[in-house]
Amino acid sequence: MEPYEATAEDLLAHDDIPFTLVADTEALDRRIAREIADLIARNNEAEDDTTLILPVGPLDYEYLANICNRERLSLADVTIYMMDEYLDDDGALLPESHPLSFRAFMRESLVENLAGDLGLTMADVVFPDPDDPAAVTEELDAIDGVNACYGGFGITGHFAFNDPPEPDEEMTAQDLAETRTRTLTISRESTTQMAMGGTLGNWELIPERAVTLGMYELLLSDRVHLTFMRNWHAGTLRRALLGPVTEQCPGSLLQLHPDLRVTMTELAARRPDPDITQATGAEEG
């Protein structure tokens, strides 16, 4: 079967990857928040630290904050490693005053929504450092990877800001799997996707460069949980998870991870329909 021919039922019956179907984005956010909270609670009970890699964009962390506040869940032993952050024209982390600042997003959506005595501060939310990219690699190597990594794919199949190689760039799938934290220029395709989404077409608002965890650090995670909720995710998830493992689709490398799971909304689970007159859900693009 060709990847794009797979129905939602085919995905749910996949032999190797556990797919879970939820109604909508709210149900997805609630499910992920519950899973993260349960992981923290188990580790607290075992007197173990909790380490996570989290993205900005596909998840609303207010749901997690609400659970932690309601259940008085201590986050004193939690460290969050963020996938990436935009850079300004001087190569520094984008200032929090910028509307696309990932640091501002995490402060406002998670840290400031938590009760102050639960123990998580912005010092526990670690962004890769453009001046010392290797520092976070060393931290993650020292702990043999985080407990769990959450995220989704961009239109190119990018995971974090790990895009496919440019046409004149020689890179194999193994080369891509070995990429470490680094600064880079964001691909034109990914810039277009982001301009069509969160900035309502304001191309000039998207920074040209970013710092990102590499595929090496992401694949080092004990567990990877992918989330898909948008209409165009229907094709992207099938290409990445049902197609060949290739550097042309970085997300396809996740097929090789020993503990991969997927949660998708009904919108993202629909089989991509070649009849564009039947396309629905464009408002979520």
Per-residue three-class SS string for 57-72? CCCCCHHHHHHHHHHC
pLDDT score at 193: 78
pLDDT (average), residues 177-206: 80
The tens digit of pLDDT for each residue in 228-277 reads 999 999 999 999 999 999 999 999 999 999 999 999 999 999 999 766 54
Which helix (H) or strand (E) segment is 18 a member of?
A: none
What is residue 281's predicted lDDT score, i.e. its pLDDT? 46
pLDDT digits (tens, 9 = 90+) for 122-142: 999 999 999 999 999 999 999
194-208: buried (b, 16+ CB within 10 Å) or exposed (e) per residue? bbebeeeeeeeebbe
Confidence check: pLDDT of 169 > 50: yes
- Strand 78-82 to 125-126 pairing: parallel
CA–CA gap between residue 112 and residue 184 (Å, rounded): 30
Backbone angles phi, psi at 41, to 5 degrees: -60, -40
Residues 6+ apart with CB under 8 A from 69: 113, 114, 115, 118
Encoded amino acid at 234, one letter: A
C-alpha distances in Å from residue 143, one per residue of 50, 79, 97, 138, 182:
11, 12, 33, 9, 20
- The answer to whether the CB of 34 falls within 8 A of the CB of 59 is no
In the predicted structure, residue 198 carries a pLDDT above the cut 80: no
What is the predicted pLDDT for the residue at 188? Answer: 85
Residue 178 has pLDDT above 80, yes or no: yes
pLDDT of residue 203: 62
Measured from the Cβ of residue 251, the count of other Cβ atoms closer than 10 Å reads: 25
Within 8 A by CB and 6+ apart from 140, the residues are 81, 146, 217, 220
Q: Which two tokens stand for residue 118?
A: 């639960």
For 37-52, the pLDDT digits (tens) are 999 999 999 999 999 9
Tell me which residue has tokens 């493992």. 245
AA letter at 142: A
pLDDT at 197: 64
- Split at pLDDT 50, 70, 90, the class of 199 is low
pLDDT at 1: 74
Tokens 């060949």 sit on residue = 244
Per-residue tokens: 246: 């290739």
How far apart are the C-alpha atoms of 186 and 103, rounded to whole Å? 18
Angle at 87 between CA 86 and CA 90, to 5 degrees: 170
Instruction: Report the pLDDT averaged over residues 146-174.
Output: 95
